[in-house]
Amino acid sequence: MKRFVILTGAFVLASPLFAERIMHEAPAAASGPPATVADMIASQPAPRTLGAFPGGSYSFNPSILVTVVINAAGRNGTFFHTDYFIINGRGVPQEILVGFLAAGVTNAGAPAQRFTLNANTAYAIDDYLGMGTGRLNQTGVGSLLITAVFAGTNTPDGSGLLYGSARIWTNQPSGAGTNSFSTWALAPRTIHGDVNVISVGGRQNADFRSNYGLVNLDAFTRSFTVIITSGGVNTTISVNVPAVSMVQLALPTTLPTGGNGYIVIQFFPNDNADYNWNAFTTTADNITGDAYLSPGAVYPSAVLEY
């Protein structure tokens, strides 16, 4: 037993993660050529598989997508903020471009912001979309696209090792304490092409409300069919998502709310082009703002590769 402990200690000391450090301020802004969100998606490097997750979906990647972030008012006096956490898993500094994909509008020409992450460093940034040095100065609902680039260029760095997550939170209407939910960064190509995606766990009744979300990382507007199953009834909706954008839309108030109000949502692209997209459901308590996210998952038998 003693030998095992000694060997374990030696392994920890040798591990690159032992040198990981955390910073509670935003990363430093970096200088470089102007870049847009369109530049970020023009040449996406392939994901690196570095963990237990297939295809590196939720592992360290040279480019990552956060499907939803919020800096906006909610119901009953709530206001949702976003705290963000990002890790540079490399032993050298990493330059990144960060693009905010505002909901409902084309963001191809939106400027990307440039920062430098220190080597082997995790950042914990409060109110990341808010005002201040190293923050994004954005309001509303959107997605985040973050790409590793070579220093001083807009060229994607395929050796980048980025991972992150977001905590979206609000003060309770009473002012005592907060409520929040988390969303995790994933490889932008986790869902792509003509596949069927399902999200479970959303809830819609007198006590809860749900929104469904779609992210379109293509240079063209894309249309989707959304099927909501609630109270034993299917409701079909057609949704257009602008190019390089996302939408987060409230479920119809006319949905049947039988049983306990839990719902299933299915998402179907209306064409067979191979582009990157994603889908999710968010649910919030109508009184306190307590919320959670239900990510979309691909039907394994429906995956079509191009």
For residues 180 and 211, state if they share a domain. no
Q: Would you say residue 216 lies in a domain?
A: yes
Q: Would you say residue 104 lies in a domain?
A: yes
Residue 263 has pLDDT above 70, yes or no: yes
Tell me the pLDDT tens digit for each residue of 72-129: 998 888 899 999 999 999 999 999 999 999 999 999 999 999 999 999 999 999 999 9
How many domains does the chain fold into? Answer: 2
Cβ atoms of 96 and 146 closer than 8 Å: yes
What pTM did the predictor assign?
0.88
Last residue of a domain, one of 159, 184, 209: 184
For residues 123 and 157, state if they share a domain. yes
Q: Would you say residue 176 lies in a domain?
A: yes
Q: Would you say residue 291 lies in a domain?
A: yes
Residue found under tokens 């690159």: 16
Domain ranges, residue 52: 20-184
Distances (CA, A) of 160 to 26, 34, 75, 128, 295: 19, 20, 39, 22, 25
- CATH code, domain carrying 61: 2.60.290.11
Last residue of a domain, one of 151, 184, 217: 184
Tokens of 237: 């909706």
What mean pLDDT is predicted for residues 166-178?
86
For residues 152 and 63, state if they share a domain. yes
